[in-house]
Amino acid sequence: MSIPNSTQSSDQNPDQNSDQNPDQNSDQNPELSNKGLFNRLTQIEPCEMKGALLSFLFIFLLMTSYMILKPVRDALPSDWGDVSRATQWTYTFIFATIAVFIYNYCASKVAIRKLVPAVFVAFALSFMLIFSAYKLGVNVSFLGKVFYVWTSVFSLFHISVFWSFVSQHYSKLQSKRVFSFINTGASAGAICGPLSVILLAETMSIENVLVVTSVVLLLSLPIITILNRHFDSLHQTSNPNVAVSEQLQANPFTGIRELITHKKLLGIAGFIFFLTGVSAFFYTTQSDVLADFSRTERKQMLGSLELVTNTLTILLGLFVSNRIFQKFGISASLSFVPFAVAGLMLLLSANPAILFVLILVVVRRAGNYAIVRPAREVLFTGVDKEARFKSKPIIDIAVYRGGDVFWIWLIAFIGDGYLGFSVPEKIITGAFVAAMWGLLGFYIGKRHEKSEQERPEITPAQQPEVS
Name the pLDDT band for 184 (thresholds 50, 70, 90): very high
Assign 3-class secondary structure to the chain. Answer: CCCCCCCCHHHCCCCHHHHCCHHHHHHHCHHHHCCCHHHHHHCCCHHHHHHHHHHHHHHHHHHHHHHHHHHHHHCCHHHCCHHHHHHHHHHHHHHHHHHHHHHHHHHHHCCHHHHHHHHHHHHHHHHHHHHHHHHCCCCHHHHHHHHHHHHHHHHHHHHHHHHHHHHCCCCHHHHHHHHHHHHHHHHHHHHHHHHHHHHCCCCCCCCCHHHHHHHHHHCHHHHHHHHHHHHHHHHHHHCCCCCCCCCCCCCCCHHHHHHHHCHHHHHHHHHHHHHHHHHHHHHHHHHHHHCCCCHHHHHHHHHHHHHHHHHHHHHHHHHCHHHHHHHHHHHHHHHHHHHHHHHHHHHHCCCCCHHHHHHHHHHHHHHHHHHHHHHHHHHHHHCCHHHHHHHHHHHHHHHHHHHHHHHHHHHHHHHHHCCCCCHHHHHHHHHHHHHHHHHHHHHHHHHHHHHHHHCCCCCCCCCCCCC
Cβ atoms within 10 A of the Cβ of 9, count?
15
Q: Who's near 363: CB < 8 A, 6+ residues apart? A: 340, 341, 344
Asked if residues 228 and 58 have their Cβ atoms less than 8 Å apart, the reply is: no
Whether residue 9 has pLDDT greater than 50: no
| Burial label, 418 (beta-carbon count in 10 A; 0-12, 13-18, 19+) | exposed
Q: Give the Cα separation of 124 and 106 in Å (integer).
A: 17
* 48-57, 134-143, 206-215, 298-307: segment of lowest average pLDDT: 298-307
Q: What is the mean pLDDT of residues 73-95?
A: 77
pLDDT for residue 465: 34
Give the CA angle between residues 224, 225, 227 to the nearest 5°. Answer: 65
Name the pLDDT band for 457 (thresholds 50, 70, 90): low
- pLDDT, tens only, 220-239: 999 999 999 999 888 777 66
Name the pLDDT band for 299 (thresholds 50, 70, 90): low
Nearest to 431 by CA among 338, 350, 354: 338
Q: Give the Cα separation of 188 and 166 in Å (integer).
A: 18
More confident residue, 151 or 285: 151
Whether residue 250 has pLDDT greater than 80: no
- pLDDT, tens only, 409-426: 898 888 776 788 888 888
Cβ atoms within 10 A of the Cβ of 315, count?
15
Q: Percent of the chain scored above 70 by pLDDT?
A: 84
pLDDT for residue 203: 65
Cα torsion 353, 334, 104, 116: sign: positive
Q: Give the Cα separation of 165 and 116 in Å (integer).
A: 7
Nearest to 246 by CA among 3, 9, 10: 10
Cβ atoms within 10 A of the Cβ of 34, count?
10
Tally of residues, the chain: 467
Name the pLDDT band for 309 (thresholds 50, 70, 90): confident
Q: Who's near 124: CB < 8 A, 6+ residues apart? A: 213, 214, 215, 217, 218
Asked if residues 3 and 458 have their Cβ atoms less than 8 Å apart, the reply is: no
Give the CA angle between residues 324, 326, 327 to the nearest 5°. Answer: 65
Name the pLDDT band for 318 (thresholds 50, 70, 90): confident
Q: Give the Cα separation of 328 and 323 in Å (integer).
A: 8
Cα dihedral value 169, 171, 174, 180, nearest 10: 70
Q: Percent of the chain scored above 90 by pLDDT?
A: 38
pLDDT for residue 34: 52
pLDDT for residue 115: 93
pLDDT averaged over every residue in the chain: 82
Cα torsion 11, 15, 20, 24: sign: positive
More confident residue, 304 or 82: 304
Whether residue 196 has pLDDT greater than 80: no
Whether residue 21 has pLDDT greater than 60: no
**Rounded to two decimals, what is the model's pTM?**
0.80
